[in-house]
Amino acid sequence: AGLVEQVVKLPAVGHVALRLVGPVELGFAQKKELEERDIRIARLIASQSSDTTDILGLATRISKILDSANGRQRRFLENAIPEAMLIQTSSQIPASAVIAMAIFESGYGNSLLAKEYNNYFGMKAFDSWTGARALNMPTRDSGEDTTADFRAYPTLAAGFQGYSQFLLSNDRYRKHVGEKSGVKFVSNILASGYCPDPDYLTHIRDIIQKHGLDRLDAALETIVDKQESVANATAVEKTPASAGAH
């Protein structure tokens, strides 16, 4: 069954927002989970814009992205999209890059690191890491089988935010924040030493293309640009007139 898209009024939000309704045959627990996801997405969209046209455009893009997958892959996208949207609007890291890298690194959330430790990006826990750890996890380094400690997080949301903080706290990667293209952003951080895998960018590009994730970048960028324009106009209006003005 496809995703049904409709616009509703959320009293807790106070804005027109998106509601994504799952198939009617879902059990109660699944319906509750979908409702919670819907509210998170709706509140996030409504917090970014009060323009109904923007909201509907973003809703349409989200629906198309979800329709590009099914089963486990679709469920992962449903959970990842709100987190990636939040990261792009707050940190200017393209949502498409965040989602595509999480998909590639975790196999749509199916890796042991993702399922047990909410680490969707394969982030290792070096000596400077003071948080929880997944100890002695099997991995490959320079083509050799080995073990390493990895970062562990309590929730999916914490894992995504942890990844954003990792990029922002590293000078090599932070300088690329603000790049509007997800593919270019990944290309830039790879050039700065993120990962030696020569095929990494090809995988990311293919995932972005498969799900049309760049649609999300463009829609969010439009909303943020409008917010900045309104803020700048408001600041100009509040500026006192010069002494000689009439």
Mean pLDDT of the chain: 80
Q: Measure the CA angle with vertex 105, ends 104 and 110; round to 5°.
A: 90
Q: What is the average pLDDT across 204-213?
A: 97
pLDDT in tens, 78-98: 999 989 998 998 899 999 999
Question: What pLDDT is attached to residue 148?
Answer: 94
Range of weakest confidence among 12-26, 64-78, 85-99:
12-26
Give yes or no for residue 114 having a pLDDT over 90: yes
What is the CB-side half-sphere exposure of residue 244 using CA atoms within 13 A?
A: 0
Confidence of residue 31 (pLDDT cuts 50, 70, 90): low
